[in-house]
Structures are given as structure tokens and as C-alpha cells.
Structure 1
Amino acid sequence: MTRSCNLTSKGIPLAANTTSSDLTQSWKSREMLIAVFTVVMITVHLVMRFWIITDETAWNVPLWCVLLFGGVPLVWDLLRKLFRREFGSDLLAGISIVVSAMLDEYLAGALVVLMLSGGEALEAYAVSNASSVLRALSKRMPSVAHRKSGATVDDVALADIVVGDLVAVFPHETCPIDGIVTEGHGVMDESYLTGEPYMMSKAPGAAVLSGAINGDSALVVRADKLAIDSRYAKIMEVMRSSEQQKPQMRRMADQLGAWYTPLAVAIGAAAWIASGDPVRFLAVMVVATPCPLLIAIPVTIIGSISLAARRAIIVRDPASLENADTCRTLIFDKTGTLTYGEPKLVKQSVIDESQRQTILSLASSLERYSKHPLASAMRLAGKEAGAEQHDVTEVSEPPGHGMTGRVAGHQIEITSRKKLLARDPAVSDRLPPQSGGLECVILIDDEYAATYQFRDTPRSDGASFIKHLEPRHQVSRTLLVSGDRESEVTYLAEQVGILEVYASQSPEQKLDIVNEETAKANTIFVGDGINDAPALMAATVGVAFGQNSDVTTEAADVVVLDSSLQKIDEFLHISRRMRRIALQSAIGGMALSLVGMGFASAGYLPPVAGAICQEVIDVVAVLNALRVAIEPKTLIDFERA
């Protein structure tokens, strides 16, 4: 075949509406700029104050710049929140900035500006991953397709492919369209799209999905859908929908500030009205500065993120740490989460029980020369059983027709039940009942000898992990939702002890289930395939196993680099510990502040003394928050295999 190139950069387009992402990025940049500017100005102030200049007016100039260029925009935004009746901890911080300026406490005001802008920048960064998910999806798909016409293959824009076109898919390429194989034999990795854990054999007549990764052989595929109607494009469409519908979560500091802020203002106003002295209102506001919320909680979150990273758990969205311990429903995908994603020989049905070891020895010897998805499982079974390995000659493995070879003087054939019955229907009486999973049949010297059955291997600690979720983590419901076949999903559920099972689920159906469950209670979804991405984004907390797909890790709130259930347990414990220490710091600090506000409202704590008192409270709260970075002796409380 000859190839001529006509490259056009057209693929599945990104979402047309990127306004919200652009605004989020702009907001993040502004907050980060204010934070950096504030750090520089505070540093200049300290240098001038203690080493260079003795004039108080001069050394306060950098702090005035912070209040003018950083504080004013932040206070303006907080005033807009006030008009919308949004009473959060940051609103009280805005009041504190104004109060500090009125009291000539410029350094304190600058520090509040730094805390507020830094926290907002962190929040903006955590929620700005929607566009990167779509970019990752778009990059995965080829921008061109190899359209075949006679003996010529031309590279054309993917959007130019129409139903009925023949498309060549070269080795190790991503299939650009949904269609039917017309030429070639090979295998494709569809696990990211379907949930099936194995490389799937492809021959003329076999269906292929866009997004599947081709194996070592070139295939020719007839398009039966337009690119915009393909399975991959549909997943992108579902993801856009899910990211638009995912609600903004209220952060822990906002939840506490929702009652603390109006209470502090009310105490200050009451003190002013009762005494007729506005200085008492100012004193209360200074004491009420919510540094336990603005500092202690971020310190706790950052420390927990660091602890998780040391445990090979990457927290992409800090809100997931705040919410994981509140989740009462845990939803699993099947492949690669509760299983290892590798087939394993689980049953050998032999005609002559005395020949069990001999049959395995002959079959595993022959499979050394095969690239079939089940060959490695059979070789491993032979090795574990100590089966003798023989020399093999006359090996033949025509694609789609099984494998034959001469082993230890015997003619060995490994084929499928379907092909065996087509040749010899009478053998059906000797075959075992067909069950879930994959299987092959073994013939020795043209006589049926055995049937081998394979299944994806459940994780050895799966049952103990599932069993401990309710008593240890108050997870009241556990669901298994998979794109795999019902027999496979049910088998796994029985092995690990999950009662609620949903099999053969498309990405759209997975998303519907997650949305329905999240409406009832906070959810954690654990998955590892591209087909899991919409569900990962829709769940309260989305956890991706491994880094098999850029799309999955971009969509997830948490990425577990070491794919083990132990890491899920560690993450749950880190979340619980973070919440406990954060609440201790925040509520303890606010309680002390309330005591101080009482003294200030009674006139026993003037503004300057109140500022010093608040600094002491801040130090205590932050020191307690720093405990979170100290790694405990263990973060596991279930029996590991």
C-alpha cells in the first residue's frame, strides 16, 4: 500500500463554552498575584523596620500598598458576598482588614490579606481542572484517520470520515472510530472504555470501539458511526455534562464561619450600642479575626496533603480530604480496583483426573509460544503447579483459530468451546457447564481432554476491606458498578461481600447511578478507566487507581499511585484525622476568641491588647494544626493479605 498525507488538525473538539474555566483561571491568577505581592511587601516592611529605617511612616508604606492594592479588591469582593447574604469566615476577614486599617494595625491587616488571598488561590486551583480533563480526552484521540481506498491510504481529518469508510488502524495506534473489522487479525485493549480486563481478540466481523488501543497487527475497520457519535465522543459529552452539574461544595471554614461571623458582628454591635463607645466594636473585631479558620484549617489541609503524598496518595482537590470521612456510600468499579485486572486459571475440568498434571504440563508448554491473552495465565498456573515443561515443535496459531503444536510426542490443540462443538457436536455431553469468565478447551491427539476456565483475580484483601468499611468508617452502603458482564461482576461481588451489583453499565448509566446515590448521601467512587471519568467527577470524592489514563487522573479528586485497597483505607484515615485536628484547631480557637470578645465587649480588653490576645490564640491553634504532618504509627485498620 502507498500512503499520501493530507494532515488536517481536526479531531473531536473541546467544549465550545470555556468561559467558566477562563474566569476561574483569571480569578486564580489574580489571587496568586495578590498573595505574592503581599509576601514581598511584608518582607520589605520587616527589613526596613528592623535594619534600615527608624521612621515609622516610611516602614509602613509597603503595608499601605498591600491594603490598597490587595486589601481593597478583596474587601470589595467580600462586600458583594455580603449583599448576596453569604456569611463566611472570609467576610469576617474583610471586616478585620478594615478594622486593622482603622486601628493602624497595618501589619495585622497585611497578614489577613495574605491568608485570604492565599486561601482563595488554593480554592480556585482545586476547582479549575475541568478544562484540563477535556484537554486530556482530546489529546488521547488521533486528529487524523487513515482512510483506505483500494491500495491507497490517505490521512484525512477525523471529522471527514463518514459511515462506510474503511479506516486503517496501525499497530499500537488508538482506534479513531467505532466500526467493524474487515481485514486483519489481532488484539485491542478496550479496558479503559468497556471495563473488560483483557486484551480482546479482533478478526473480520469483530466490533471495535473508538479509543481502544491496537496491538501488534494492523487492522482495517469499516466505520459504522461518525466521529461525533462514537463511544469516545459520547464519554466526552457526558463528562462535560457531569462537570457542569457537579455542585460547589461548601468548605469547612465557610461552614463554621457561617455562624461565627454574624455572632462576632452581633457581639461587637451590642457592645457598641450598650456602651456608646465604637472602640469596643473595634476591639471585638480585632479579637474576632478568624485566623484559626484562615490559617489553622489550611495548615491542616496542606499537612494532610503532604502526609498523603508520602503514602503514594496524590490529593488533587483539598475538598476531598474534608469530605471523604463524611461519605456513607462507597461505589467501586470492578476491573483494577477490587481485582488485579489479570486473568487467572481458576478451574480445570478434565476427562481423566489422573491426567490433570500431565494435561497442564502439555498445555502450558505449548502456551509459551502464544501471545493470546490467556497464555500468560496458563503459563503461570503451570509454574505454580510445578508442571514439567517440554520441547515444542510444529507450532501453529492462525488468528481466530486456536493454537496447535507437537509436545512430548502428542498433538496438542487449544481452542474454544464454540469451535470444538462446530467440529464435533457429540462432545457436548462431556463438556462442563459454561460459566462466567473466559475458557479454552484442550485436545490431545484430537481427543477432548480438558476445559480450563479463567477469571479476573479478586484482590486477596478485598473481602476484609469491604467488611471493615461499616464498623470502622461508617460506610453504610457499598456498590459494585461495572461495564463488565453480569456473570463476572456477580462472581466478584460474591467473593468480596458486596450485595448491590450493577453490571454491563455504560458511562452514562454509571453517571446516573452516582448522581442518584450522591443525592442521598455523600459518595466515594473508585475507578481506573476512561469510562469511569464522568462518575469520578460526579461523586463527592472521586478516587482513581493508578495512572493508566491521563483522563482518569485528571477527573479524579484523589489519585492512588500504588493500586491497593490499603491506600484507600489510608486515605480515609488521613481524612478523618485531618477533620479532627482541623476542628480542634478551629473550634478551639474560636471558643477562645469568643471568651476574648466577651472581655473586649465589657471594656476589659482594648484593641491593642485584643490584637495581642488574638495572636496568642492563633499560635495555639496553628501549633495544634501542625500535628497533622506527624505520621502516625499506622493508618490501616483492616486485615491485609
Structure 2
Amino acid sequence: MSSVTQDPHVSNAAAGSPPSRGLREFLTSQEGAIATATLIAIALYLLLRYAFGLEGWAANWPLVAMVVIGGVPLTIDVIKGAIKAKGGADLLAAISIIAAVVMGEWLVAAIIVLMLSGGEALEEAASKRASATLDALAKRSPTVAHRLRGTTLAEGTDDVHAEEIGVDDLCVVLPHELCPVDGEVVEGHGSMDESYLTGEPYVVPKSTGSSVISGAINGEVALVIRAQAAAKDSRYAKIVGVLREAENNRPPMRRMADRLGAWYTLIALALGILGWVVSGEPSRFLAVLVIATPCPLLIGVPVAIIGAISLAAKRGIIVKNPAMLEDVGRVKIVMFDKTGTLTYGRPSVTKVDTPQGARFGADEVLRLCAALEKYSKHPLATAIVNEAERRGLVIPEVQEISERPGQGLVGTVAGHGLRVTNRKGLAAVDPGSVPLLPPTATGMESVVLIDEAYAATLQFRDEPRLSASSFIEHLPHKHGVEEMMILSGDRESEVRHLADKVGIKTVYGGMAPEEKLEMVRAKTKEGPTLFLGDGINDAPAMTAASAGVAFGATSDVTSEAADAVVLDSSLERLDDLLHIGTRMRRIALQSVIGGMGLSIAGMILAVFGLFTPLMGAIAQELIDVLAIANAARVGIHNKELSDFEPGAEDEMP
């Protein structure tokens, strides 16, 4: 039997993409290279002009070279985009480059090239998030499987690609390898780390009959599994497919600069043509365009965004997609995953309800259940085991176990047949015992059968965060949120119980990642949306929302798919993010609209010949300084941003 080494561990991405990777992506892009070279050319020009006292061509040649090498292709690309009706601020920048060249204003032309190429390079680097997310998934996709030649390990194995594994094939998963397919353990006792797939810190014991998930990391012991689905049909592969489809169909986001720049461009061109026609002097057209150069548009917004990213980082929030800052402060619909966002994700047993005259007491039922639940990945399993340990019960060994969808957890413990299911499962196995069930309770429950007879009902409670209900009340009043809902894979009764406690009316339970994705898409068509989740199954929904936010740092893929990551899983930090987005947008609009207003005033003066092209260039630089200085205020804020007052510390009581 040969061993193939796979590294199942991926570096944590929650802290954001490494600066070196972002810088490398910027520099290696065509626009990034142009921006860098143009910046060097401007520095060289200033050195020649003011340090060596050179003038004319002797000083201008670095600028001319970069305008020709970088400005010409950029201008051609922008014009092509304008033909396709993209237009926006970039079009005016391209026209301004041409006008500056005609005027011989090479420094102005080079500065515009720098702003245009730098902005496009930053956008291109941000757009690579989609491929980065899929790359993270691809790195973890199981590729090698050790298929048994017969029915036992003694007969040896063949190493094959995971995609060659068919239903009912037997495979061995070596220690620390990725499980290649969804299946069932047929030999071995060990454990698997499923945290990457679930978003929860699960290291789940595995024994004969236990279900295993493709992509889970095996523990110290080799396990023989029987494939229950081909690799392409595994849960992991389906999530990859849903995420890929979501990324490929992400609706285009129109930049603030484009939305404002469209009409600004028309005003500038109209005023320039008016000045030319009225005076008969082409220089007035050039003067108007020089002062109309959209520096506040091209620089004001990026500067504000950089400040917002810095401000968020100081508060433990990593912004991965800067474009989300334009939307997060004006979301109208907020969607929550249930576990780990509005709750702490740590349910506890509140009651073990046994029928009158029961054969087994509460402690015995709990002891036998805990033996089975040690092998389950469900959050309630941990609650059962913890409660048994809290009561000091001795947990026996399991002789046999299986967990299949719709059948609950079934096994043999201490000579007894045990089944942990729900009310429907009891009705199917022992319908005569249904009247013995306690009244339906809010929250969560499990029904236990011992030797195929009803034995007890376990009731659970998953504590909502202490600040959850006040935060739900806070969103409409302080942030104008119009609709809130919970989208969860848990049973609807459980989700409804939580929703009632925190004050949310709209609930969808039992949802697969594909269903969450469709719901988020539908709601995003109605207005800006925010989705808050914490597991890999939430990644597609995060991608489809206007703003996707991940709580905590449990999954690299979730962090990559999310637009922002709240590292300490605090609703107060989420409120900070909403305020940062609102503040960024407000200050950016001040810079952009204020700068454009001053530029329009200067254009009017240029139309009447009161501003020469040189005066226009100087005036534009002053406007730029004001716009940029104002935008830089975004990152300077030492006071509290959040106005959310939970009334209790957001910690597990």
C-alpha cells in the first residue's frame, strides 16, 4: 500500500490576504506596471526640472515616454469601453489626457495616467477575489484515493484519482489525509476534523457505520470507508459548484465614480464645446477639460476607501472587498445564518423527559445516548456528551453505529439497540408510543428509542447572544434596515424558536447552500443586502449578497468568499462596520461632489476666458488637495463609532 502525501492544512485567510500577495498582484498587472512606471517617471521629471534646472524636452522626456507607452493603450481601452456604453469618469480622464497632450501639459497628462492606471489596477486586484476563493477550494479538493483491491486491507490498494471512485467502492483513508468521497466507515475506530466544512470546531469520533464527508481531515488512525457517492456528487463538490456558479453570475457593481462621472462628463464636454463655439478659441475647450480632470472622482473615493479599511482593521474587521463599503452602510435587508451568529453555537440539554413507568431512568438514557453521540457531528451531540460528563456518568463503548439521512442515529450500546431520532422517526418505528411524547416544546429536541421502544425525549436550548435581541431592534431604528430574516440549515422549529426570542419574524429552516443562494439572489434584486454567516456552506450566499460578512476565522473559504471578516464574532463590531461604511460613503460624497462643484465653477470661469489652461491646471490641483484631504478624514477617528448599546456584555453567560 503506497502513501501519497497531501497537506490538508491551508493558512488562515481570515486576517486578510497577505500584503505581499496584494502588492504582487498589483505590480504584475498591466495597469499596475503602468502606474508604477508613471510614478517613477514623474519623480524623475521633478528631479530633472528642479534639481538640475532642465527645461523643455530635457525635463519632459520621462513624462512623454510614459504618456505614450502607458497613456495611449489606456486611452484606447477607455474609448472602447465608452463605445460599449460604459462611459463614466474614466472617459473624461481619457479625453483629458488627449487635451493635456495637445496643450503640451505633459505633467498633467502623466498624473492623469497615474490615477487612471492605478485605479484600474486596484479594481483588477479586487476582482481576483473570485478566483482566490475557488483556488482555496481547489487546493483542498481531495485528489487521491486508495481503493481496496478486494474487501480487506490485506489484499492491498491502488492509488487512483478521487474522481475514479464509484458508489460502493471501498477505500482506505490514511492518517491526516483528506477524505476523498462521502461514505460510511466499515472498518476502524478514529476521528475526523470536519471544521473546515461546517464552520464549527468539530473533531468527530468515527466508528463502524459512521458517516464521513469528503474534504474532512482524518485523524491518527486509518479508516476503511464505503463510498456512498461519486466524488463529483459529494457534498464538498456541490458546494464548490454552487460557489463557482455564484461567482460567475455575480451582478456587476457600478462604482460610485461611474454613477456620478456619467453626468459630470457630459457637463464638462458641453461647457468646453460652448466655450469653444462662443469664443472661437480651442484653448477654452482645453482649459475647461484641464480643470474638469476628474481627480476627486478618481482619487477621492479610493482614498476614502483606504481610510475605511484601516479604520475597520483597528476594530478587528478585515475588509476583503473594498467595493462593499459603498453598500454596507445602506443595506435594507439583513440575512443571518443561525448558529454562531445570533447564537453562541453551543446548545445545552435542559431536560430529559421520560414517560411514566419508564424502563430506563433519565441518567441511563443520557449515558447510552452519549456513547452514540460521541460519533456524531451534530451540535446537539456535543450537548448530550457534555451533559453526561457534567452528571459524572460513565459512558460505555459502542458496538455498532450508523447515521443515515432521515433515519437518525442508530447503534448498539451495552447490549441495547439505540435510536436517536425525532417525532416522525418515532411514529415510523413505534407509532403506539406517540401519545407518550411530551407536548411539543419550542426549541430543539431529540427522541430516544431503546430496543425499538420509546424511552425519553431530550430537550435543548441554544442560547442566543445576550446582545442579539437589542441588535435586531437597533438595525431598523439606527440603520434603516427594512427586513431581517434567518436562513438556516437547522430544523424550522429550532430556527423559529430563536427568531421569536430575538425578534425576527421571517424564518427559513432546513435550507441547503443552493437554496440560501437563490433566496439571497432574489432579495438582492429588491435592494442592498447583507448576509452574515460563519461556515463554508454560507460561502455561496455571501458571494451573492451586496455585502457578505463572515463571523470568526473558522474557514479559509468563508473568509475568502466574504466581503469582510469580523474576527471576534461580536455584533457590536458588525455595527462598527455598518457605521464605517456609512461614514466612508458620506465623506467620499463630500469630496467627490464638493470637488466636482468647485471644478464646475472653474469650468464656467474657463468658458468665459477667465481661466487660462495653466490657471485651470493650478486650480484643479488645489481642488484635488482639498478633496483628498477631506477623504483622508475617514481613517482618522479615535472615538467610538457604534451607537449600539446591548445592555449586557456579549459573552457566554
TM-score range, shorter chain: 0.7 to 0.9
Change in CA separation of 1:569 and 1:589 when aligned onto 2, cut-off 3 Å = same
1:572 matched to 2:570: no
Query: Which one of the candidate residues 607, 610, 633 is aligned to 1:601?
Result: 607
Residue 503 of structure 2 is matched in structure 1 by: 497
Distance 1:33 1:380 in 2: 57
Change in CA separation of 1:297 and 1:5 when aligned onto 2, cut-off 3 Å = closer
Offset from partner CA, 1:21-42 (integer Å, 9 cap, x none): xxxx899710000011011111
SS at match of 1:498: coil
Letter in 2 for 1:539: A
Residue 467 of structure 2 is matched in structure 1 by: 461
Residue 476 of structure 1 is matched in structure 2 by: 482
Letter in 1 for 2:478: R
Residue 562 of structure 2 is matched in structure 1 by: 556
Give the unaligned 5+ runs of structure 2: 8-24, 402-410, 649-653
Distance 2:458 2:202 in 1: 16
Query: Which one of the candidate residues 285, 290, 299 is aligned to 2:294?
Result: 290
Residue 38 of structure 1 is matched in structure 2 by: 38
Offset from partner CA, 1:413-458 (integer Å, 9 cap, x none): 9987679x99999998876456553558899xxxx99865334332
Change in CA separation of 1:31 and 1:103 when aligned onto 2, cut-off 3 Å = same
> How much has 1:317 moved relative to structure 2?
1.2
Letter in 2 for 1:318: P
Residue 57 of structure 1 is matched in structure 2 by: 57
Residue 14 of structure 1 is matched in structure 2 by: none
Letter in 2 for 1:326: R
Residue 243 of structure 2 is matched in structure 1 by: 239
Distance 1:359 1:7 in 2: 47
Distance 2:498 2:175 in 1: 33
SS at match of 1:638: coil
1:300 matched to 2:291: no
Give the unaligned 5+ runs of structure 1: 10-24, 353-357, 405-412
Residue 437 of structure 1 is matched in structure 2 by: 444
Offset from partner CA, 1:236-294 (integer Å, 9 cap, x none): 22222211211221100111101100111001101111111111111111111111111
How many residues are treated as equivalent by the alignment?
602
Q: Is the 8 A contact 2:181 2:234 kept in 1?
A: yes
Alignment of 1:299-448 (within 5 A): 299-347=303-351, 349=353, 377=383, 400=401, 432-433=438-439, 436-437=443-444, 439=446
Q: Is the 8 A contact 1:66 1:110 kept in 2?
A: yes
Residue 12 of structure 1 is matched in structure 2 by: none
SS at match of 2:345: strand
Change in CA separation of 1:498 and 1:533 when aligned onto 2, cut-off 3 Å = same
Change in CA separation of 1:418 and 1:54 when aligned onto 2, cut-off 3 Å = closer
Distance 2:306 2:568 in 1: 21
Query: Which one of the candidate residues 520, 523, 526 is aligned to 1:514?
Result: 520
> How much has 1:46 moved relative to structure 2?
1.4
1:4 matched to 2:14: no
* TM-score, normalization by structure 1: 0.83
Deviates more, 1:249-258 or 1:609-618: 609-618
Q: Is the 8 A contact 1:195 1:482 kept in 2?
A: no
* TM-score, normalization by structure 2: 0.82
Change in CA separation of 1:418 and 1:519 when aligned onto 2, cut-off 3 Å = closer
Residue 282 of structure 2 is matched in structure 1 by: 278
Distance 1:142 1:633 in 2: 48
SS at match of 1:457: coil
Q: Is the 8 A contact 1:196 1:484 kept in 2?
A: no
Letter in 2 for 1:295: I
Offset from partner CA, 1:49-68 (integer Å, 9 cap, x none): 22224344311111111211
**Percent identical across equivalent pairs?**
51
Alignment of 1:16-415 (within 5 A): 29-148=29-148, 149=150, 150=152, 151=154, 152-170=156-174, 173-184=177-188, 193=197, 204-214=208-218, 218-347=222-351, 349=353, 377=383, 400=401
Distance 2:486 2:306 in 1: 32
Letter in 1 for 2:94: G
Q: Is the 8 A contact 2:38 2:113 kept in 1?
A: yes
Distance 2:55 2:4 in 1: 71
Offset from partner CA, 1:186-224 (integer Å, 9 cap, x none): 665656657899666755445443234456665433223
> How much has 1:91 moved relative to structure 2?
1.1
SS at match of 2:2: strand
Distance 2:177 2:485 in 1: 34
SS at match of 1:167: strand
Distance 2:366 2:169 in 1: 41
1:583 matched to 2:581: no
Change in CA separation of 1:556 and 1:69 when aligned onto 2, cut-off 3 Å = same
Letter in 2 for 1:109: A
1:547 matched to 2:557: no
Across the aligned residues of Structure 1 and Structure 2, the Cα RMSD in angstroms comes to 3.9
